[in-house]
Amino acid sequence: MSDTNATSEAGELPGTLRTPIVAVLGHVDHGKTTLLDRIRGSAVTGEEAGAITQHIGATAVPLEVISELAGRLVDPEDFDLPGLLFIDTPGHHSFTTLRSRGGALADIAILVVDVSDGFQPQTIESLDVLRRTQTPFVVAANKVDTIPGWNPKAETPIRESREAQSDRASSRLDERLYEIIGDLSEHGFSADMYWRVQDFGDNIGVVPLSAETGEGVPDLLTVLMGLSQRYLRDEMAVDVSGPGAGTVLEVTDEKGFGKTLDVVLYDGTVRESDTIVVGGSREPIVTDVRALLQPRPLAEIRTEKRFERVDSVRAAAGVKIAAPELGEAMAGAPVRVVRDRERDAVVEAVESELADIEVSTEEEGVVVKADTLGSLEAVADALDEAEVPIVRAEVGAVAPRDVRVAETANAPDHRVILAFTTDVLDDAADLADQQDVEIFSNDVIYRLVEEYEEFVAERASAQQDTILENIARPARFRILEDHVFRQSNPAVVGVEVLTGTLKRNARVVDFAERDPDRVGQVKGLKEQGEDIEQARSGERVSVAIDGPTVGRQIDEGDTLWSELPEKHAKVLEQELREDIPADEREALSMYLDKHRQRDPFWGK
């Protein structure tokens, strides 16, 4: 076994520079993972759900590799940082949950923006997160190769590639880049092309590039290394020999080791046989490190199949930790090495951090299950934005007990379980069918929320349709002259519907006097000899009215009304007014006015 990221224990000096941690953020499909693929030469994109990264991976890129990729732009002699550690985030939500002692886990960030699409909702939300966490960042203006007329120059610095383009293509690129710079300005950030920025502390550098062709990627790596060396150097000076601190990315099964933790170590050192404290679903887990497994440089920790067993790992690095009793460990939770500290104090510190990222619940709401703590909080954040309350939020597969919680909901819209990237146990699915509990599963957060919102909208629409079908509708209609086809039993007359909807079985009233006089009931409607269920405003139909005799209770030219029971009128006015056509609202208002002339509180 070997020691990694360190010389010897005796040679580890307090103040040794650790690797800066770089987060990659941006809107869906703007090329975050493709950019990392270009840097690390892997193919993670095709394996992700919906081609959208939904978990956090970590990729170490050593200085010598950065120098090789950046060419003459990066001279390794100018840098004393070990390289860069990239974390690939599912988006702004999970970025906020990856913390290190209350701050952002990342030291610096790349905001990826498609030059053609420009700013999108998640771009703006990512900016808000970066501002809130005060994380320095650069903008990667991606997909320059999609500019009409662009002639790709693979893996070249962007200024060199840009000079080889036609004037038209260069102008089109400049237009789109300055739109991005303008959008940044609107959100309070001063920005310019990176080669024009004098002070990166006050201005954001924009790096045009193509993750697909590699153009501009050397520039991006150069800017990241330059920023880290100049502005983060003091922060990177850590006591690498001290007890390690990190964040769990995932809890996975590893053949021969059982449950293991994929961890980003951001401080200190973790050694084989160290006692560690890990955030668990019920309480912190205290256990001893059995093995430390590290992926090769440039390998992505989630997809790497070959790990090297090492004696110790120092920050910053991605590492797989094997230890007993990790069954209830949670992704997104803190990991702390005890070593020469009081064990209870470390446990208390972990409990405090877990309390900071606890999902708040209410007495009524939906049940949420997710595969990791970070995912759980990300889904909870998305539901909070959509104003959807949560009654229970837990890490793990959907189990029968989750169905039992969901079925107790008072509101039908809350008899729901939202499962993000986690299994639904067969007995839970069977019980949900029996108890009329809906389970929505998806590997993409925004789609999961959209599916639920569509479900709620469809239910509301169906309920309103049912109510409208079973409630009396307002109508005012006139008996046409010379259109009496039968005088009685029933009277059959031609009518014109003036406002509203005249329906079969509607009771008919006459407001000729102050009080309404019920004259009969509609037994049938015909249009050109065909039976119909209803007639709308402006239509002329023949109506069979059971009860009256033409010439006595009703006559040609009379204006009659569909009768509305008082309860129906109240529902229409107070609950369904916006769901009925404008002419029905007009008929309803006229009908209410007539009743309220004699009783001001009628239908209220």
Residue-wise DSSP of 375-421: HHHHHHHHHHHTT--EEEEEES-B-HHHHHHHTT-SSGGGSEEEEES
Pull the structure tokens for residue 322.
């094997």
Q: How far apart are CA 162 and CA 152, in angstroms?
A: 9
| Segment 244-253 mean pLDDT | 86
| Exposed / middle / buried, residue 510 (Cβ in 10 Å: 0-12, 13-18, 19+) | middle
Architecture per CATH, 475-596? Beta Barrel (2.40)
Sign of the CA dihedral with 526 first, then 528, 530, and 533 last: negative
Tell me the range of 88-97, 189-198, 570-579 where mean pLDDT is highest.
189-198
292 neighbors 260 (Cβ within 8 angstroms) = no
Q: How far is CA 230 from CA 21, 110, 521, in A?
A: 15, 17, 87
Q: Please give the pLDDT value at position 453.
A: 95
| Segment 246-256 mean pLDDT | 84
Tell me the range of 119-133, 339-353, 375-389, 454-468 where mean pLDDT is highest.
339-353
Min mean pLDDT across 51-60, 250-259, 446-455 is at: 51-60
Residue 222 has pLDDT above 60, yes or no: yes
Q: Please give the pLDDT value at position 3.
A: 47
- The interaxial angle of helices 217-231 and 63-70, nearest 10 deg, is 140
Q: Which residues of 241-271 are buried (b: 16+ CB within 10 A; e: fewer)?
A: bbbbbbbbbbbbeeeebebbbbbbbbbbbbb
Q: Residue 434: enclosing H or E segment and its boundaries? A: helix 426-434
Q: What is the rounded (10 degree) CA torsion for 229, 235, 240, 242?
A: 180
Question: CATH top-level class for 245-355?
Answer: mainly beta
Q: Please give the pLDDT value at position 12.
A: 42
Architecture per CATH, 366-466? 3-Layer(aba) Sandwich (3.40)
145 vs 256, which has greater pLDDT? 145
Q: How confident is the model over 267-302, as pLDDT tens digits?
A: 999 999 999 999 988 899 999 999 998 876 665 555
Min mean pLDDT across 146-155, 327-336, 433-442 is at: 327-336
* Fold matches, 19-237 and 366-466: yes
Q: Please give the pLDDT value at position 65.
A: 84
> Domain ranges in the chain?
19-237, 245-355, 366-466, 475-596
112 neighbors 16 (Cβ within 8 angstroms) = no
Q: Residue 447: enclosing H or E segment and its boundaries? A: helix 445-469
379 neighbors 328 (Cβ within 8 angstroms) = no
Residue the block writes with tokens 């109506």: 543
At CB < 8 A and 24+ separation, what contacts does 2-6 make? 2/308, 2/310, 2/311, 3/310, 3/311, 3/312, 4/294, 4/308, 4/310, 4/311, 4/312, 4/313, 4/314, 4/317, 5/82, 5/240, 5/313, 5/314, 5/315, 5/317, 6/240, 6/269, 6/312, 6/314
Using DSSP's 3-state secondary structure scheme, residue 460 falls into: helix
Q: Please give the pLDDT value at position 170.
A: 94
% pLDDT > 90, the chain: 53
Residue 52 has pLDDT above 50, yes or no: no
Q: Please give the pLDDT value at position 244.
A: 94
Which residue type does 367 have?
A: V
Residue 90 has pLDDT above 80, yes or no: no
Nearest to 75 by CA among 281, 229, 305: 229
Q: Which residues of 339-361 are buried (b: 16+ CB within 10 A; e: fewer)?
A: beeeeeebbebbeebbeebebee
Architecture per CATH, 19-237? 3-Layer(aba) Sandwich (3.40)
Q: Please give the pLDDT value at position 232.
A: 87
% pLDDT > 70, the chain: 89
Residue the block writes with tokens 């809350």: 414
Q: How confident is the model over 419-428, as pLDDT tens digits?
A: 998 899 999 9
